Amino acid sequence: MPELPEVETIARGVHARVRNDRITEVWFSSYREPFKTPPAKQAKGLEGRTILRVERVGKHIVVHLSAVSPPSSKSPPPAGRLPHAMAGEWVVHLGMTGRLLVTTPDAPVAPHTHARLTLASGREIRFVDPRRFGRLDFRDLAKGTNFAAPGAEPLWIESSDFAALFRGRKLAIKAALLNQSLLSGVGNIYADESLFRAGIRPRRPAGRLTRDQLERLRLALREVLEDAIRLGGSSVSDYVDADGVRGFFQLEHRVYQRTGEPCLVCKTPIKRIVVAGRSTHYCPSCQH
Ligand SMILES: [Zn+2]
C-alpha cells in the first residue's frame, strides 16, 4: 500500500514530467471499480484540458486542470475567467497496488491498465492497478469545490494545531495518528517510526501527552516522512517512467517489523503489540 512519502514522490515526479501538457485523448478500461466518476463523464472532463499542476493531497494525487480552450477560438475567454484558470481536478487514489506512470504511446501496455491519457507532447499518462482498489475521479470545479483531505496535513501542521488535535482524547496515540480525520495519510510504518523517535509508547492516551511530548512527536513525524521522501526521490524516476516497477526505496525501519530484534539505540528486543487492530512495534526501554 503506497504511503504518504511514496504518493508525494510520485506526485512530484509526474508533475515534473507533464506540467503544461495538454490532454488530447483519453482511453479507459471497461472495469467498473476504478471509476468513481463514470468513464464517459471523466473522458469529457479530461479531454482538451491543460495540466496546470500535479500535487499530493492526503494520500491522493490531484491533477489540476485548466478550462478547455478551443484551439481555433477567436473570441476571448468569458469575462472573469482566465484562459488558464483551474477548472477541474482529476483525483487519483492509488489504493493497494495502483501506479501512475508517464510513458510514450508505443510502450507495451501492462496488464491491468485502466487509464491512458494521451498528451500533446507525445507522452502518455497511464494508471495501472491489478487489484482495483485504486480510484479515479473527475471534479468539475464549476459545479463543486476542490478536493480536500479530511484531516490535517502532517508535513506542514503547526505546533499548536498539532497539539489541539489530541486534546482531551482518550484513544491511544498510535490510533490517533492513524485516524485519517485527524491527520491525513499517516500509515502504520510512519506512526510506529515517529513514536519511536519521539520516545512515546504507542498505547499512551493521546490526550495525556504533554505539550513537549506532542512537539517531539510532531517533529519526529515530519522528519520520518521527509527522510522517506528524500530517499524516494532517488528512485521515483524509475517508478513513474514506463517500466519503472522497481518500487519505492524504503526508509530503514528502526522498530517497524523488527519484532524481537535488538533496539538500535539500547539493544532491548523490539516488542510487537496490536493497537487499533494494527500491528505495532516499539522499544519497551526507549519509549515511555
Ligand atoms: Zn531502545
Expressed in angstroms and rounded, the spacing between residue 286 Cα and the centre of ligand 1 is: 4
Find how far residue 87's CA is from the centre of its chain.
Answer: 22
- pTM listed for this prediction: 0.84
- Packing angle, helices 211-233 and 188-198, rounded to 10: 130
Expressed in angstroms and rounded, the spacing between residue 179 Cα and the centre of ligand 1 is: 26
Three-state DSSP at 238 gives helix
**pLDDT recorded at residue 142:** 86
Torsion of CA 74, 139, 6, 150, to 10 degrees: 140
Average pLDDT over residues 99-108: 91
In whole angstroms, what is the distance from residue 161 CA to residue 51 CA?
33
Sequence-separated (6 or more) residues with CB below 8 Å from residue 113: 29, 126, 127, 128
Sequence-separated (6 or more) residues with CB below 8 Å from residue 209: 166, 173, 200, 217
Task: Say if residues 49 and 24 touch (Cβ distance below 8 Å).
Answer: no
Expressed in angstroms and rounded, the spacing between residue 254 Cα and the centre of ligand 1 is: 10
In whole angstroms, what is the distance from residue 282 CA to residue 136 CA?
36
**C-alpha angle with apex 13: 10 to 16, nearest 5 degrees?**
150
**pLDDT recorded at residue 229:** 85
pLDDT at 4 over 70: yes
Of the candidate ranges 40-44, 102-106, 142-146, 166-170, the one whose mean pLDDT is the lowest: 142-146
**pLDDT recorded at residue 2:** 80
Provide, rounded to the nearest whole percent, the portion of the chain with pLDDT above 70. Answer: 88
The residues annotated as belonging to the active site are 2-3, 59, 278
Q: Give residue-wise pLDDT tens across range 253-262.
A: 899 999 999 9
Task: Say if residues 173 and 217 touch (Cβ distance below 8 Å).
Answer: yes
Average pLDDT over residues 233-258: 67
Name the DSSP letter for residue 13.
H
Expressed in angstroms and rounded, the spacing between residue 202 Cα and the centre of ligand 1 is: 14
Task: Say if residues 92 and 139 touch (Cβ distance below 8 Å).
Answer: no
Q: Give residue-wise pLDDT tens across range 32-57.
A: 999 999 999 999 999 999 999 999 99
Expressed in angstroms and rounded, the spacing between residue 265 Cα and the centre of ligand 1 is: 5
Expressed in angstroms and rounded, the spacing between residue 272 Cα and the centre of ligand 1 is: 13
In whole angstroms, what is the distance from residue 224 CA to residue 195 CA?
10
Provide, rounded to the nearest whole percent, the portion of the chain with pLDDT above 90. Answer: 71
Expressed in angstroms and rounded, the spacing between residue 213 Cα and the centre of ligand 1 is: 17
